[in-house]
Amino acid sequence: MKWENNRQSDNVEDLRGQTRSGGGFGGRMGGRRPGGRGLGLGTIVIALIAGWIFGINPLTILGVLGGGGEMLPAEPPAQTRSAPAPAPQDDMGRFVAAVLGGTEDAWGDIFKASGSQYRAPRLVLFQGAVGTACGTGQSAMGPFYCPGDEKVYIDLSFYDTLRRQLGAPGDFAQAYVIAHEVGHHVQNLMGITSQMDRMRGRVSQREYNGLSVRLELQADCFAGIWAHHNHQSKAILEPGDIEEALNAASAIGDDALQRKSQGMVVPDSFTHGTSEQRQRWFHTGLKTGSVQACDTFNARAL
């Protein structure tokens, strides 16, 4: 991935030297423990991965979508948005800033074309645990998005797990993770998050799981949109990049994780989609670059 072609975002907060390390989960996200109901994973490695898979802020997964959202920014967070932090100085920090800058440019153009204005999220680099508007975030949760403060949170140690334990190496696989979380931010701006939250608790567990799958597959599709537009404007893709992203999407499919952790697959408990679905929806966004093509909520087949 030619990430050096991207503008580095100044919306990165590098708290890696300030956040605490280790320890158990010390808070609640959006009034509920992150992760919802887990898969009963038996190893630390799989627990870390499941933390990311099921650790997306509950406000984005506990509820039901009542209809398609418009491409209109939601109200900004109640708290004052802090001034941009200095850009990270290490290579990995600059990589993250460049990927975030690419998402800002891509989604900025898309929102502008729709007659609206994109409000970029902040991205927080942390280690161990960090305070958020949604409660205390922890490294074991993996990357997550908090709509309360419109920030993406990442402990970069997750990338080691992604590479060494899941067999999904490569800088484009790492960029896909960021673009997926930014996809949740886009859903927040479109009003999808608030629509789901207003309907929280009004559907059965099975229905909730199905809607959660559609939410996550849409975020995968939005990640594909980022890649489509970023490559058109900055020519970021190199041979093997798409395969890296598809490999990462496959590694974190519900069926792959369940098979690895418990030796069996329970489709009714899926919350993020199968490996094949996650690959297909990412590829849909990549191929079309169209928000309308990512309407997973009205898709007859996933």
Give pLDDT tens digits for 208-257: 777 888 888 999 999 999 999 988 888 777 777 878 777 677 666 666 65
64: pLDDT strictly greater than 70 = no
Give pLDDT tens digits for 188-211: 999 998 877 776 678 777 787 778
Mean pLDDT of 34-46: 30
**115 or 40, which is more confident?**
115
Distance separating alpha carbons of residues 127 and 16, to the nearest angstrom: 5
Q: Which of 59-63, 126-130, 212-216 has the highest mean pLDDT?
A: 126-130
Q: Are 158 and 142 in contact (CB under 8 A)?
A: yes
Pair of tokens at residue 268 = 């009714």
**260 or 100, which is more confident?**
100
In order, the DSSP letters of 272-301 are S--HHHHHHHHHHHHHH--SGGG-GGG-S-
In order, the DSSP letters of 17-60 are TTSB---S----BTTB-TTSS-----SHHHHHHHHHHH-S-GGG
27: pLDDT strictly greater than 60 = no
Q: Which residue has the tokens 């970069």?
A: 156
Strands 129-132, 122-125: pairing kind: unpaired
**19 or 173, which is more confident?**
173
The reported pLDDT for the residue numbered 187 is 95
153: pLDDT strictly greater than 90 = yes
Phi and psi at 32, nearest 5°, equal: -135, 155
Mean of per-residue pLDDT scores for the chain: 74
- Which residue stretches of the chain are H helix? 44-54, 91-113, 157-164, 171-190, 192-198, 205-234, 241-251, 254-262, 275-288
40: pLDDT strictly greater than 50 = no
Report which residue type is found at 81: R
Pair of tokens at residue 201 = 């608790």
Distance separating alpha carbons of residues 249 and 224, to the nearest angstrom: 11
Q: Which residue has the tokens 């609640």?
A: 28
- Cβ neighbours of residue 196 closer than 8 Å, sequence gap 6 or more: 59, 60, 61, 62, 63, 64, 65, 211, 215
The reported pLDDT for the residue numbered 302 is 84
How many residues are there in the chain? 302
Give pLDDT tens digits for 165-191: 777 778 888 999 999 999 999 999 999
Q: How many CB atoms lie within 10 A of CB 23?
A: 12
Poorest-pLDDT segment among 79-88, 180-189, 278-287, 288-297: 79-88
Pair of tokens at residue 39 = 């898969």
Find the radius of gyration of the CA atoms of the chain.
Answer: 17
145: pLDDT strictly greater than 60 = yes
